[in-house]
Structure 1
Amino acid sequence: MRVRILYEKMGPICFVPHVEMPTLLSRSLRRSGIRQIFTEGMSPHPKISLGPPLPVGVFSLCEVADIWVENWRAEDLEALNEKLPRGLMAKKAVSTEGLSLSKSCDKAQYLLQFKSKEKGSDACTLLQTHVPGVEILTLCGKEVEAVTGNPYQISPTLFVKALSKGGVISSWEDIRIVRTKLGKDEEGKILPLL
């Protein structure tokens, strides 16, 4: 049975690399008593598929993962949350079939937070001209909302590189990035995967 989980990644846990998340999720599933399904072959491992990579240091309110388990009950979400490390919280879980995450997800929205309004305004101008794939930018004080196309190719790292090269920021220390939406493009809006 494939279960799609929507979870958030906030606080110091955002420094756990994307590549380590399957191991972390698998351990939490095992500790909560949820029986996982393993791949076949010489080196079996738990079947877990993650959504688009999230760079180290970027927060998220909407990460997704597909996990394969023997059985999923409504109370398993609460049991999993009790065993997840601080900063990770599973918000929703549903049994799913159909398209994989990589084929289901083609849009993302990010909130970029700066130390001053001027930086936000400069960032908005620079990102529109220097980062291909940024579709919509909204400026609100010290914050910029950016909507991008394919989140597997357009990463927040591109924002930081462009802003650093343009002199808006000097490094990751000058900006806080939060992925706020992840999903499918539906007539210009982001339709959540869960």
Structure 2
Amino acid sequence: MGTDFVRVRFGYSKRRGACFIPHQELPTLFGRGMRRAGLTLELTQGFSPHPRITLAPPLPVGVIGLFELGEVWVRRDTLGCFDRLNRVLPEGFAVEAAEVVEDGCPALSKLCNAGEYLLRLKNGGRMSHEELVEVLSRWDQWDSVGRNPVAAGSGGYLGFIMLNPDQVGPSLMVKFLISSGVVSSWADLELVRVRLGRFDCNDGFVDLLSRPAKGVLEV
């Protein structure tokens, strides 16, 4: 691998119609957009080279992501083109932040062990937050919730953290709510992933990428 390429961690949002694009299509989508923005991407080796892009644990189709994570290897002298990226990405996608990380840093799959979520029953639901938490506490994967759900914001959302999103995703929680009779389908609720990161008992939720005040990438 050439020394002129650097590893860039980026945070992106996916809203509206972008939520319905399958996760496995996103590396191609981002690779195409990055090249159009003027970034030169490092390619994988082998018979079918493709841009070296990795993404954090996926979201179910239809779920909004406010700060998803990915990494890409970019030629250093084209880093300034990151600020053009949002002009060429499909509607609903936006790169919110990016920063260069050390190449020896562990992979996102090793670092990312938690996600923060918001859940709301549509039309006010039939349950208070307390009643909903009581139902969820009977879920056999309740240990995967790293912090007791709490009321979040003014929109009637329940905020919570789930551990190991690559193994216990929000789909399993929704399936439990359906089997418990709380909702009849995904259409009866709103689910948002606020961010991905690390979680431990001492430090709480730790972000793996900060959001710069100006510009997408500052090197």
The equivalent position to 1:123 in structure 2, one of 132, 139, 143, is 132
The equivalent position to 2:120 in structure 1, one of 113, 131, 134, is 113
**What is the CA-CA distance between 1:73 and the residue it aligns to?**
5.5
**What is the CA-CA distance between 1:131 and the residue it aligns to?**
4.7
Identity %, equivalent residues: 38
Stretches of structure 1 that go unaligned for 5 or more consecutive residues are none
Stretches of structure 2 that go unaligned for 5 or more consecutive residues are 1-5, 210-219
The equivalent position to 2:84 in structure 1, one of 73, 79, 85, is 79
Amino acid aligned to 1:146: F
C-alpha distance 120-38 of structure 1, shift in aligned 2 (>3 A) = farther
Assess if the C-alpha contact under 8 Å between 1:61 and 1:180 holds in 2: yes
**What is the CA-CA distance between 1:74 and the residue it aligns to?**
5.9
Amino acid aligned to 1:118: R
Q: Which moved more, 1:175-184 or 1:132-141?
A: 132-141
**What is the CA-CA distance between 1:124 and the residue it aligns to?**
1.9
Amino acid aligned to 1:49: T
**What is the CA-CA distance between 1:120 and the residue it aligns to?**
5.0
TM-score computed with the length of structure 1 as normaliser: 0.93
C-alpha distance 117-171 of structure 1, shift in aligned 2 (>3 A) = closer
Equivalent residue for 2:106? 99
TM-score computed with the length of structure 2 as normaliser: 0.83
Equivalent residue for 1:41? 46
Equivalent residue for 1:171? 185
The equivalent position to 1:53 in structure 2, one of 51, 58, 69, is 58
**What is the CA-CA distance between 1:77 and the residue it aligns to?**
2.5
C-alpha distance 46-57 of structure 1, shift in aligned 2 (>3 A) = same
Assess if the C-alpha contact under 8 Å between 1:128 and 1:134 holds in 2: no
Q: Deviations over 1:74-100 (max 9, x none)?
A: 632221111111111111110112111
Equivalent residue for 1:139? 151
Number of residue pairs matched? 194
Larger radius of gyration: 2
C-alpha distance 77-16 of structure 1, shift in aligned 2 (>3 A) = same
